[in-house]
Amino acid sequence: MLRYAIIFLVIAVIAAVLGFGGIAGAAAGIAEIIFYIFLVLFVIGIVAHLFRRA
């Protein structure tokens, strides 16, 4: 999932350099949402792992 966030971030940067403002904003928004989802799942995974060990 982090891979998709990075891909959308790269698309946003390329679109911003080429001057496609709408596409860059949309791709950056998608990348941000996917990154936050990844972050939440990562924290849940760490907490679940810690509870399983105990």
pLDDT digits (tens, 9 = 90+) for 30-47: 888 988 999 999 999 999
Q: Which amino acid is at 35?
A: F
- Position 27 confidence tier, pLDDT thresholds 50, 70, 90: confident
Chain centroid offset of residue 7 CA: 9
Q: Rounded distance, CA 54 to CA 8, Å?
A: 38
pLDDT of 29 > 90? The answer is no
* pLDDT in the model for residue 50: 92
Residues contacting residue 1 through CB under 8 Å, at least 6 positions apart: 34, 37, 38, 41
The model's pTM: 0.69
* Lowest-pLDDT range of 13-17, 21-25, 39-43: 21-25
Q: Please report which residue ranges of 1-54 form alpha helices under DSSP H.
A: 2-18, 21-53
